[in-house]
Structure 1
């Protein structure tokens, strides 16, 4: 039999990783709900946070990645999620990582006081959560990164410098043609200095394998050659940065 070319071998490796990552994400199950940071359990396993504006399709994205219809609550009324929801990942009932679904921000119909409270909770979480290894910032590419998104990027910048990974995920990419998608991705990559950017569509399931593989790598750095261990969080500030 002829030897596999390096391209074929690389493609096979990517496919195997995607299968492993998708199978792992499918194990997701509800762990706990925390309306405030003090209600979060003190965990040692890697944690990956999903954040974004209330209309960015965050819950739908999580449900698509985990291949579950109702894991994350996807409401037709943006802004309904008012707590941090944690989901365990791991086979045979073991937890080797956690997904954190943070409250959506920026929705106009939500009272200003509630907006500010959620934003303080998110900012404090992102600055102080010790086991945080990665952040997925979801963005509707038709609108691009807003001022609130930019503020969030600034909040996590010190953590990124310490080793926390982040991804700007352009959801609803099925709404764009090829040229529009390429332009949106190029702009997002410029904003994501130090991070990555990808196109994603829950409707067409595009980008699922790439995102799943990336999350697997974040949560299992010991399996990736040359990877470093997650960084520790700094001390909690007296007044966390606000996202407004």
Structure 2
């Protein structure tokens, strides 16, 4: 996809702050610091439209990005960050849940996991949830540049087994640094948007 326009529309906490329905949305879910913002920046060829941070738990809102006036990326708050109070974590969970269950424009929820580690409990819960609402079950395995091709293949098998992914081609090793599999991700997203 050729991205000619990319902008952040709004950072929302409440439903009434969401942009109007009608434009297809792809939501990105994953642990804190897994690389959701880096993925967005890489896909749209921008350095920092989506703010990245070395500090986990930075995204505490739903961030809506307009792409080419055709669709939106929605960056969800990262989960599983230990240093945040339980009350705060519950607030995020409620915010994410409300968006995912009520949003008519939502076409797909994509799970991001760190390829270097086995998926954790939160990842498994999120993946099961994504599948239960009828999404494809696309998994983007980030930070792939940190592993050799052989190690990547091994870790893809681990992710496949741990999450119970039915189709190996739905797990995409991705590197924001090396732009590895950027085209492959776009290809899947194009399919999602056409189906929608």
Give me the TM-score of the superposition, normalised by structure 1.
0.74
Residue 74 of structure 1: aligned partner? 52
For the residue of structure 2 that corresponds to 1:166, the secondary structure is: coil
Residue among 54, 58, 61 paired with 2:36: 58
Aligned residues between the structures? 193
Shift of the 84–200 alpha-carbon distance from structure 1 to 2, 3 Å rule, reads: same
Superposed, 1:1-244 pairs within 5 Å as: 21=1, 23-24=2-3, 26-90=4-68, 95-160=69-134, 164-190=135-161, 191=163, 192-193=165-166, 196-221=170-195, 230=196
Residues of 1 paired with 2:29 and 2:75: CA distance?
7
Larger Rg: 1
Give me the TM-score of the superposition, normalised by structure 2.
0.91
For the residue of structure 2 that corresponds to 1:31, the secondary structure is: strand
Q: 2:33 touches 2:53 (CA, 8 Å); kept in 1? A: no
Residues of 1 paired with 2:32 and 2:14: CA distance?
19
Give the alignment's Cα RMSD to 1 decimal: 1.7
Q: 1:123 touches 1:152 (CA, 8 Å); kept in 2? A: no
Structure 2: runs of 5 or more not aligned? none
For the residue of structure 2 that corresponds to 1:165, the secondary structure is: coil
For the residue of structure 2 that corresponds to 1:144, the secondary structure is: coil
Residues of 2 paired with 1:197 and 1:34: CA distance?
29
Please report how far the alpha carbon of residue 103 of structure 1 lies from its aligned counterpart in structure 2 after TM superposition: 0.7
For the residue of structure 2 that corresponds to 1:121, the secondary structure is: helix
Give the 4+ runs in structure 1 shifted more than 4 A: none
Residues of 1 paired with 2:116 and 2:189: CA distance?
25
Residues of 1 paired with 2:97 and 2:157: CA distance?
27
Pick which of 177-186 and 79-88 moved more.
Answer: 177-186
Structure 1: runs of 5 or more not aligned? 1-20, 222-229, 231-244
Shift of the 121–66 alpha-carbon distance from structure 1 to 2, 3 Å rule, reads: same
Residues of 1 paired with 2:170 and 2:154: CA distance?
15
